[in-house]
Every structure is written in C-alpha cells, then in structure tokens.
Amino acid sequence: MNYRHSFHAGNSADVVKHSLLIALVRALQQKEGALTLIDTHAGCGLYDLGGEQAQRTGEAAQGVLRAFADVSPVLDDYRAAVRAVNVAADPHLYPGSPQVLRQLLRPQDLLIVNEKHPEDARALRGAMRGTPAAVHERDAYELWLALLPTRTARGVVVVDPPYEQTDERDRITTTLAATHRKWAHGVTVIWYPLKDRAMHQRWKSNLRKLGIPKFMSVEHWLYDADQPGIYNGAGLFIINPPYAFTQGLPPLLEALRVALAPDGHRGEITADWLHH
C-alpha cells in the first residue's frame, strides 16, 4: 500500500493520529522532566490542502474538514494545532507530525525528525526552519535504533511509515523488539493503515509474541462493514502510554468516531491492550 503523506494529508487517519499524539505528549508533560520527541518517518512537515497531490485524493474533506465542522470541545486542541499553521480561519495548510510535535515543545524538550526521501527531506528542512528541531535524512529503522536510549530520561518515538515496502511490518516488528531491549520504559507510537483485517490480525499476533508489557492498540474502523480493496481506517500501537493519557481516552475516542463517521455509517474506534 503506497502511503506518501502528501496524497493523504488531513485525512481521517491524520485527525485520529494527531489528536492522540497531542493528548499523549500533554499527558507526559504533566511531569516537569524533559522529553525527547523523535519522528522517524517525518514526511514534508507541512502540506498544502489545495495542492495537486492532496486534491487528487480529496481525503481532507472526510478528515480535517469534518473535524472543523464538528462542535465537540474535546477536539479543540487538535483544531488549535491545525489553526496554528494557517492564517485564515479555514485550513489551507495541514501540519504533519513534526509540526504538531514542534508546537508542543517546552524549553526543556528536544525534537528530532527524520525523512529519508530526499525531496521530502528538503521540504521538511524548510518547514522546520527557525525551530529547535534536529533534521536527519537517514534510514528510519537504523535511526530509530541508533538514537535509543534517549539522552533525556523520558522520550516518545513516533513511527509513521508509508507501508510501501512489503516487509514494512516485519521491519517494524524486529526493530521494536531491538529497541525495547535498549529502552524498555520508553513510549513508542506506531501508526498503521487498516485495509486487510486478516493480515492485520496476523501482524498483531506476531507483535503479541514479543511479550512487551503495556502495549495498547487503538483502531479506527470507518465503515460498519469492510470495504474490499480500499482503506478502511487506521490505528496506532502505543507502548507504555501514561496513565493520564489512558484515563482521558474514552471521551476523545468517542468524539473522533462521531466527527469522522462517513455518511450512513456509525464507524468504530476501540482501545485494547495486546499486553498489560
């Protein structure tokens, strides 16, 4: 499945991912100690929703535009993060994860972003200019392992691959196993598309075998029944989510389900433990 960020900027998966990312980092920031935030597949950092690639799919209409039309105050933090990169009231630009994370930085926090694709890496450098972020252009999996453990006592790694390679899930599984040995207490967030339920269940059972404690799976299914051959939703694996985050999840998940449900569908969003 080809998932270049620019074609899908601001879609329903981005709304869920960025809403949860904001809530997660805010929960960790309830403690004063410094955080290192690492984004392994950072993309361009900023996307033009009126641009050719975003327009070709039109996915923002079912994502960020639905979130902006929604009235739930639970989504205010998400909408504020999108507004922060826009001059006008309506969103014309969409912040990728690096921009969302940059907005959350406190003076003591560090941000490291990485993008291997040369064209996207150049765009990322431009988008992050004037920010304290360190920008890398390396293999994501090599960087993920190399930068752990973080220099600060606490950190978050965001792994958000395009799933273009057939071995992407295998690389995530093996790298996660290796990073967990080096950095067992760290918080890791792994994004994934939901397309083929059987393949996804196989992957989950492989991840379960790693025996990593405190391993949460949040899944957003857009439709009430699987739509064959198309994108059915997306999810996040979250390792070591803080208690304050898990406590605040139910109202956030329900607000996201309501805002993003396609016409005629109720949709479903769940949070379960693979291991606890």
Q: Which of 221, 220, 190 is nearest to 206 (CA)?
A: 190
Tell me the average pLDDT across 173-180: 98
| Domain covering 5-275 in this structure, CATH number | 3.40.50.150
Tell me the average pLDDT across 171-183: 98
Identify whether 160 is a catalytic site residue: yes
Residue 77 marked in a binding site = no
User: CA 220, CA 227: separation in Å to the nearest integer?
Assistant: 14
Inform me whether the pLDDT recorded for 2 exceeds 50.
no
Inform me whether the pLDDT recorded for 3 exceeds 60.
no
Comparing 263 with 4, which gets the higher pLDDT? 263
Q: Using 50, 70 and 90 to split pLDDT, how confident is the model at 22? A: very high
Tell me the average pLDDT across 245-255: 98
Extract the tokens encoding 132: 């304290």
Q: Using 50, 70 and 90 to split pLDDT, how confident is the model at 1? A: very low
The proportion of the chain whose per-residue pLDDT surpasses 90, expressed as a percent, equals 85
Residue 140 marked in a binding site = yes
- Give per-residue pLDDT as tens, 39-89: 999 999 999 999 888 888 889 999 999 999 999 999 999 999 999 999 988
Beta strand 134-136 with 46-48 is: unpaired
Residue 41 marked in a binding site = yes
Please give the model's pTM, rounded to 2 decimal places: 0.96
Extract the tokens encoding 271: 């949070």
Beta strands across the sheet bearing 268-275: 134-136, 110-114, 35-39, 154-159, 187-194, 233-239, 215-221, 268-275
CA 65 to centroid of chain Cα atoms:
18
Inform me whether the pLDDT recorded for 236 exceeds 60.
yes
- Give per-residue pLDDT as tens, 123-141: 999 999 999 999 999 999 9
Tell me the average pLDDT across 229-238: 89
* pLDDT value at residue 54: 85
The proportion of the chain whose per-residue pLDDT surpasses 70, expressed as a percent, equals 98
Inform me whether the pLDDT recorded for 118 exceeds 90.
yes
- Give per-residue pLDDT as tens, 142-169: 999 999 999 999 999 999 998 989 999 9
Inform me whether the pLDDT recorded for 4 exceeds 80.
no
Residue 97 marked in a binding site = yes
Q: Which of 57, 74, 55, 88 is nearest to 15 (CA)?
A: 74
Q: Using 50, 70 and 90 to split pLDDT, how confident is the model at 5? A: confident
- Give per-residue pLDDT as tens, 41-52: 999 999 999 988
Q: Report the 3 state secondary structure along the chain.
A: CCCCHHHHCCCHHHHHHHHHHHHHHHHHCCCCCCEEEEECCCCCCEEECCCHHHHHHCHHHHCHHHHHHCCCHHHHHHHHHHHCCCCCCCCCEEECHHHHHHHHCCCCCEEEEECCCHHHHHHHHHHCCCCCCEEECCCHHHHHHHCCCCCCCEEEEEECCCCCCCCHHHHHHHHHHHHHHHCCCCEEEEEEEECCHHHHHHHHHHHHCCCCCCEEEEEEECCCCCCCCCCCEEEEEEECCCHHHHHHHHHHHHHHHHHHCCCCCCCEEEEEEEEC
Residue 158 · residue 236 · CB < 8 Å: no
Residue 117 marked in a binding site = no
Comparing 5 with 204, which gets the higher pLDDT? 204
Domain ranges within the chain, ordered by starting residue: 5-275
Q: Taking all residues of the chain, what is their mean pLDDT, rounded to a whole number?
A: 94
- Its sign, for the CA torsion 165, 171, 176, 179, is negative
Extract the tokens encoding 146: 């190399």
Query: In the block, which residue shows the tokens 């902006």?
Result: 68
Which of 160, 170, 196, 272 is an active site residue?
160
